[in-house]
Amino acid sequence: MTKAESYSIAVATGSIIARASFLKEMDKLSEQVGMELPKGASQKVDRAIAELIQLKGKDALSSCAKTHFANTQKANAYL
């Protein structure tokens, strides 16, 4: 069911818990790599990936990103 959180308090609660966990883990990853890791898929994310590659090398991506996503390829344009 699409938009199930509108119909089920359990689904809405699960969504809130999952989002809170995601944000907490993204903050931890940002701290580990020493820079803000933006969320989503945007030019800001592409630029952050390029910056991380410049600072830490391409191998650093595997510890904090899904490298098979298109953003990894797009980041090359910023290098």
pLDDT at residue number 77:
80
Summarised one tens digit per residue, pLDDT across range 41-78 is 889 999 999 999 999 988 888 888 878 878 888 887 88
Length of the chain as a residue count: 79
Q: Give ∠ CA 8-22-76 in degrees, rounded to 5.
A: 130
Instruction: Tell me the pTM.
Output: 0.76
Domain limits, the chain: 4-78
Q: Give DSSP secondary structure letters for 12-63.
A: HHHHHHHHHHHHHHHHHHHHHHTS----SSSHHHHHHHHHHHHHH-GGGGGG
pLDDT of residue 7: 94
What confidence category does residue 4 fall into, taking pLDDT thresholds of 50, 70 and 90?
very high
Residues 49, 37 contacting (CB under 8 angstroms): no
pLDDT single digits (tens) 6-37: 999 999 999 999 999 999 999 999 999 999 99
